[in-house]
Amino acid sequence: DTVLTQSPALAVSPGERVSISCRASEGVNSYMHWYQQKPGQQPKLLIYKASNLASGVPARFSGSGSGTDFTLTIDPVEADDTATYFCQQSWNDPWTFGGGTKLELK
Amino acid sequence: EVQLQESGPGLVKPSQSLSLTCSVTGYSITSNYWGWIRKFPGNKMEWMGYMSYSGSTSYNPSLKSRISITRDTSKNQFFLQLNSVTTEDTATYYCASIVGTDYFDYWGQGVMVTVSS
């Protein structure tokens, strides 16, 4: 299976820029997607196919990358962005998720 | 807007079957793809499988011998059955709609299932 590796946690101050990384154990083309999950809620799609902003998602969120290295960027970070962020690939079978990066605000 | 809602028992005994229902409103399950995902304690997420608009299915090979996804188009519902559960199947189970065969655009709120005697 394709393993997706994310940093476990990050802490940033409101107004700053944060980059959350996701590294794949093998190439996934551009078929990497990003979700935000807040405690007690279901995941919410943020970015699909590496760099496409999902409907209704603020332009503060952006995605980049291809192959094995991908980044979700939030600029500027707001207090409401406190959540866990997951990457997911759909290029290789079975689809897999990263372990999630918990974003905390200072 | 598409809305999904999972339902089913929150407690299942080991060796029994786990059965969940996903009720969909706002979109026909005879269009699009529909899937199940679970999130284990500790945050790990696993794609379990999906059903296409035509009723064909694809399953995670790690579950292939135990999983079945079916549907009732008259009720606009699809179902998850997972057989021979163990405590390792304790998780929050989500149903979701899938764009193409790539990403999950709408998710249900999730149902927590505990496997315990």
Residue B47: which of A42, A44, A94 has the nearest Cβ? A94
Phi-psi domain of B42 (left: phi exceeds 0; alpha: psi -120 through 50; beta: other)? left
Of A42, A49, A86, the CB nearest to B110: A42
- Strand (E) or helix (H) holding B37: strand B33-39
Q: In angstroms, what separates the C-alpha of A86 from chain B's closest C-alpha?
A: 9
A53 touches chain B (CB under 8 A): no
Strands B111-115 and B11-12: parallel
Q: Do B107 and A31 touch (CB under 8 A)?
A: no
Residue of B nearest to A45 (CA): B105
| The pLDDT of residue B102 | 92
Q: Are B47 and A97 in contact (CB under 8 A)?
A: yes
B65 to chain A, closest Cα gap in Å = 15
Which residue in chain A has the smallest CA separation from B63? Answer: A94
Q: Which residues contact A14 (CB under 8 A, 6 or more apart)?
A: A76, A77, A78, A79, A105
Task: State residue B100's pLDDT score.
Answer: 87
Distance from CA of B92 to the nearest CA of A (A): 10
Compute the distance between CA of residue A106 and CA of residue A35 in angstroms, rounded to an integer. 22
pLDDT tens digits for range A47-89: 999 999 999 999 999 999 999 999 999 999 999 999 999 999 9
CA atoms within 13 A on the CB side of B90: 11
> pLDDT tens digit string along A26-37?
999 999 999 999
**A6, A101 in Cβ contact below 8 A?**
yes
Joined together, the tokens standing for residue A54 give 């999902």
The residue among A65, A69, A33, A63 whose CA lies nearest residue A51 is A63
pLDDT per residue as tens, chain B (117 positions): 899 999 999 999 999 999 999 999 999 999 999 999 999 998 999 999 999 999 999 999 999 789 999 999 999 999 999 999 999 999 999 999 999 889 999 999 999 999 999
Q: How far is CA B52 from CA A13, A35, A51, B37, in A?
A: 43, 22, 25, 15
Q: According to the model, what pLDDT value does residue A100 have?
A: 97
Q: Which chain B residues have any C-beta within 8 angstroms of a chain A C-beta?
A: 43-47, 58, 60-62, 94, 99, 101-105, 107-110
Q: How high is the pLDDT of residue B101?
A: 84
Which pairing describes strands A69-74 and A61-66: parallel, antiparallel, or unpaired?
Answer: antiparallel
